[in-house]
Amino acid sequence: MSQQNDRRRFRRAATTLAAAALTLGISATITTPATASGSYTGRAYVHGTSYLTGDLNDEGVVNVRTHRSSNVTCLWQMILHSDNYLPASGVDGIFGDQTHAATVKWQRDHGLTPDGSVGKLTFAKVNQKIRDTGPDGDYRYGHYDGTHHNYAVRRARSGGNWQFASPGRGFLPAAYNYRSC
């Protein structure tokens, strides 16, 4: 009888451990490194070196769950506005339903998987429309060449964190962790 009780306890323990391992395995599968960190480089800002045209190849994820309320979301919304996917009133730094729908349409129209999440591949497409206009003083300037509007970007001449021109607010830092636009 004692052997039977030991087997039952062993089975219960094994079943509990297997369920816990399965749960952890599913969690690890669902949370990809890019989503978990929120940034491919781990930096708190859009960052680059050399010319502005290649700076966006390693940026973090921005969507309804990750960096939802941030200046990087505002930067993305300005791109959507520049390409006429989002009205000026939609540029508020909050990745809501309107921004998600505009992102899906922008991605579809640019040959990307329309998942509504701005990550490495979407930023790489944006890179194709960044025009570097060169150094001036302490900064390297450029602009996003939108289909309807252009807007200015800059960063330190030798490399560093990006800033973008926000109407009526001057240049704002392209930060993942706060919103001031």
Q: Could you state, in chain order, the average pLDDT of each consecutive group of 10 residues for the chain (181 residues)?
A: 49 41 35 35 85 87 95 97 97 98 98 96 94 95 96 92 92 95 90
> What residue numbers bound the domain in which 132 lies?
37-173
* 8 A C-beta contact, residue 164 and residue 77: no
* 8 A C-beta contact, residue 56 and residue 123: yes
What is the per-residue pLDDT for 2? 52
What is the per-residue pLDDT for 10? 41
Do 135 and 61 sit in the same domain of this protein?
yes
Do 51 and 83 sit in the same domain of this protein?
yes
Do 8 and 42 sit in the same domain of this protein?
no
Cα gap 79→154, rounded to integer Å: 15
Report pTM. Answer: 0.77
What is the per-residue pLDDT for 150? 94
What is the per-residue pLDDT for 24? 36
Do 24 and 104 sit in the same domain of this protein?
no
Do 104 and 15 sit in the same domain of this protein?
no
Domain count, the chain: 2
Cα gap 154→63, rounded to integer Å: 23
What is the per-residue pLDDT for 61? 93
* Residue at token pair 């990087």: 72
- Domain assignment present for residue 99? The answer is yes
Nearest CA to 76 out of 58, 65, 97, 61 is that of 61
Which pair of tokens denotes residue 111?
């040959």
3-class SS shares of the chain: helix, strand, coil, % to 5: 45, 20, 35
